[in-house]
Amino acid sequence: MMPKIAEHPFLFTGCWELKEMVGRSARDEQQLLEAIEEIPVDSLFYHTHSFFLRHQYIAGPYPNDFATWAAIQVRDRVLGEKLGILDPYDFESLEALRSEIVNIIDEHLSQLQIIPRVVYGEPFHFMQSRIIEVPTGLEARSLTEFRKILAAVDASAVYYHNFEAIFRLVRRKGDFALWIEEQLDLPELGQKISRIDFYMISLESVRHQIIKLCDEVLEKEARR
Amino acid sequence: MSRLDDYREVTPKGTIDFLERLVEQVKGRKILHINSTKVGGGVAEMLSSDLPLLKDLGVDAQWQVISGTEEFFNVTKSFHNALQGQEQHITQQMLQAYLEVNRENARRLSFDADYVVIHDPQPAALIKSRPAQGKWVWRCHIDISRPQWKVWSFLKQFVVNYDAAVFSLPRFAQRLPIPQFLIFPSIDPLSDKNRDLSPQEQSQILSRLNVPTDKPILLQVSRFDRFKDPLGVIQAYQLVKKHHDVQLVLAGGGATDDPEGETILSEVREAARDDPDIHILLLPPDANLEINALQRAATIVLQKSLREGFGLTVAEAMWKGKPVIGGSAGGITAQLVYGVTGFTVNSVEGAAFRIHHLLDNPEVMTKIGENAKEYVRQNFLITRHLGDWLALMSYLGRAS
């Protein structure tokens, strides 16, 4: 059987993140809580998602900035661990995620006599993302082409088609999985890609896992 | 093949193709950078590398330098120190001298560009002469997290008139009514300061500098400036020297806008006297190959700054796979992820302890050096810097 050629090609889009300072900072966990309640949703996104765009090679101690700050700068590992396990894929919206983060910090503080604060460490500085979309001009019509381009494209495309697509553009499955399912008629591969836990690994690891899954299908096709 | 293609080998995969796409959003636009010195210091060095590549990408990139009197540069040096938190006595006459030089430069320079980027406080008041067209950005390279209030409020009256401000670290941000962006500075991996050197080239340069290689080298490269704490480095070396037979190289450049260097240099010479294993090298601003050779020859690189804008010498040494011990100041903390890509310290004793630790554990040095190089590749190379500028131009263009 001939490998399927897509009717609509996959257009790889990368992105560049401009980092804008919100002008707000927190020196203790109460200030962190109050700020998280009020910051723009773009700032919440920056500290919980686009983190991956900035740590493509070395995964941080925790997969969001709030957890890392609590654990490293405040030296409150308990809060760091509680926030670190949060998986944004479990939430329908960023507002739902915000609400959960606030609940976790609130509950944590209610059990303490003293509010943990920065002594020697750095305050938490709130930032927000300004994402500039950049069409790469690269397009794939088959799984072979898709795999080849994915292996060489800028890592920001891996980020854009998964994190941005899912959380900001509300394409729940992510662009890769959706296209592979709909255009290449490979629902099993699409499902495997959408099941990758993007949140716990670096962008390069996401890329490698998807390539590996594509290779398995391509090898199977070659053997037929 | 353009100069840009040479970077494909050293940058993360896909980077150059990506920049060529990103630039399409601002192609043909003109960007003008203005600062206060053509040679010496990190800003001049970055601009020297950035501009040819921006041009390669298709952006009309220009660079102009303001001229000033000795009095002006003394005033701006005081501004610099005050903005970095050191108490300075600023008189009305000094403020007038600053404004007058800015006025003279405004008459002399042309601001015909789509984007005008003013670097640091020296030319900040040029904004008073901005034409109707064009977006103006104030690019602040120094640590103004704890400024002397009088100087900052004087400067702020100009800064608020820009379309945006750019800082090197989030903590440098101020209460301003304009958007503030974060852009880390960068190094050029193919410049003379950072390119690969053959062993022969390296040994020729070291021999010309009279730096022997028979003992492990501790190195600090920086201007002779109080904020870089060269005296603290000598003290840390003296603590280590009791247990390890090492040598210390303090290599300092000068900049035309830094009149304080001579005083600090004589204090350093005084502290180092009689020790044949301390080498003080006063290098000219264009001693890039010399710095490259010294960094490659070093066993451990120090950047024990007390205050720092960003501290690009850290990224330079990391790019050469060296373990770096840096002061917990400014951008050094963004480059040295503690225990992963290097170490930050808060005291002379802390620096001495980490030097000891590394000398006793060469395998840790190797691992830290490998991580450091990869971290710089991802975050602190010139290609990432160009991308940030292109993205900012695109964003400001859309905003208009």
Q: What is the pTM of this model?
A: 0.85
Question: What does the pLDDT read at residue A61?
Answer: 66
pLDDT digits over B99-128, tens only? 999 999 999 999 999 999 999 999 999 999
- A5 assigned to some structural domain: no
pLDDT value for B259: 65
Q: Is residue A95 part of a domain?
A: yes
List A10's β-bridge partners, or say none: A140
Task: Examine the pLDDT at A57 and tell me if it is beyond 60.
Answer: no
Q: Are residues A144 and A85 in the same domain?
A: no
pLDDT at residue B294 is higher than 90: yes
pLDDT digits 0-9 by tens, B65-77: 999 999 999 999 9
Length of chain A: 224
Per-residue 3-state assignment (H helix, E strand, C coil) for A55-81: CCCCCCCCCCHHHHHHHHHCCCHHHHH
Tell me which of A103-112, B39-48, B85-94 is least confident.
Answer: B39-48
Instruction: Look at residue A60 and tell me whether its pLDDT is greater than 90.
Output: no
Check for a shared fold between B3-186+382-399 and B199-379. Answer: yes
The pLDDT value recorded for residue A63 is: 79
**Assembly ipTM:** 0.83
User: Which of A14, A20, A155 has its CB closest to that of B12?
Assistant: A155
Mean pLDDT of B321-350: 92
The residue out of A82, A109, A127 marking a domain boundary is: A127
A2 within domain boundaries: no
Q: Do the Cβ atoms of A125 and B180 come within 8 Å?
A: no
Kindly state whether residues A139 and A188 are assigned to the same domain. Answer: yes
CA distance A153 to chain B (A): 5
Q: Both A78 and A161 in a single domain?
A: no
Domain that holds residue A203: 10-14+130-223
For B202-225, the pLDDT digits (tens) are 999 999 999 999 999 999 999 888
Q: In what order do the strands lie in the sheet with B217-221?
A: B278-282, B247-252, B217-221, B300-303, B324-327, B343-345
Give φ, ψ of A211 to 5 degrees: -60, -40
Mean pLDDT of A76-105: 92
pLDDT of residue B82: 94
> What DSSP character marks residue B381?
B
Helix (H, G, I), strand (E, B) or coil at A16: strand
Task: Please check whether residue A45 lies inside any domain of the structure.
Answer: yes
Minimal CA separation from A223 to chain B, in Å: 31
What does the alpha-carbon distance between residue A93 and residue A11 come to, in Å, rounded to a whole number? 26
**Which fold does the domain B3-186+382-399 belong to in CATH?**
Rossmann fold (3.40.50)
Q: Please tell me the least confidently modeled range out of B47-51, B253-257, B289-293, B312-316.
A: B253-257
pLDDT of residue B8: 92
N- to C-terminal Cα separation, chain B: 35
Q: Tell me which residue in B14, B181, B340 faces A152 most closely, judged by beta carbons.
A: B14
Same domain, A148 and A166: yes
Contacts of A25 in chain B (CB under 8 A): 170-171
CA of A218: how far to CAs of A4, A7, A173, in Å?
11, 19, 22
- Determine the pLDDT at residue A55: 62
Judge contact between A52 and A203, C-beta under 8 A. yes
Mean of pLDDT over chain A: 89
B391 touching chain A per CB within 8 A: yes
* Predicted pLDDT of residue B256: 52
**pLDDT over 80 (residue B274):** yes
Q: What percent of chain B is predicted at pLDDT more than 70?
A: 98
| Position B14 pLDDT exceeds 70 | yes
pLDDT value of residue B2: 57
Q: Which pLDDT belongs to residue B213?
A: 94
Residues A192 and A110 in one domain: no
Q: Within a domain: residue A146?
A: yes
**How does pLDDT run across B249-270, given as a tens digit for each residue?**
999 875 555 667 788 888 999 9
The whole-number pLDDT of residue B399 equals 66
| B176/A155 Cβ within 8 A | no
Q: A142 and A169, same structural domain? A: yes
Q: What is the pLDDT at residue B113?
A: 96
State which of A127, A146, A180 marks the end of a domain: A127
In a shared domain, residues A122 and A160: no
Provide the sign of the torsion angle of the four alpha carbons B201, B53, A138, A177, taken in this order: positive
Domain identity same for A23 and A90: yes
Chain A residues interacting with chain B (CB cutoff of 8 angstroms):
14, 16-21, 23, 25, 54, 56-58, 120, 122-123, 125, 127, 130, 132, 134-137, 152-157
Summarize pLDDT for B165-201 with one digit per residue, the tens: 999 999 888 889 999 999 998 999 999 999 999 999 9
Indicate if the pLDDT at residue A67 is higher than 60: yes
Q: Which of A127, A162, A196 is the last residue of a domain?
A: A127
State chain B's mean pLDDT as an integer: 92
Tell me whether residue A4 is in a domain: no
Instruction: Say which residue, A120 or A83, is predicted with more confidence.
Output: A83
Q: Which ranges of A71-171 would DSSP assign to H, the alpha helix?
A: 77-84, 94-110, 143-152, 155-159
Dihedral (CA of B202, B244, B330, A65) sign: positive
Could you identify the residue written with the tokens 């300092």?
B252
Q: Are B79 and B49 in contact (CB under 8 A)?
A: no
Task: Give the strand order in the sheet containing B60-65.
Answer: A124-140, A10-26, B180-182, B164-167, B135-139, B115-119, B30-35, B60-65
For residues B27-37, give the mean pLDDT: 93
- Please tell me the distance from the alpha carbon of residue B46 to that of residue B43, in angstroms, as a whole number: 5
pLDDT for residue B52 is more than 80: yes
pLDDT at A1: 59
Half-sphere exposure of B276 (CA within 13 A, CB side): 4
Is residue B321 within 8 A of residue B343, CB to CB? The reply is no
* Residue A43, pLDDT above cutoff 60: yes
Tally the domains of chain A: 2
**Helix, strand, coil shares, percent, chain B, to 5:** 50, 15, 35
Out of B13, B21, B346, closest to residue A137 by CB: B21
Q: What is the pLDDT of residue B400?
A: 59
* pLDDT tens-place string over residues A189-213: 999 998 887 776 778 889 999 999 9
Q: Which stretches within chain A are classed as H helix?
A: 29-38, 41-45, 51-54, 65-68, 77-84, 94-110, 143-152, 155-159, 175-184, 187-194, 203-223
Mean pLDDT of A76-103: 91
**Residues constituting chain B:** 400
B199-379 has which CATH code?
3.40.50.2000
Q: Which residue has the tokens 């301390």?
A: B278
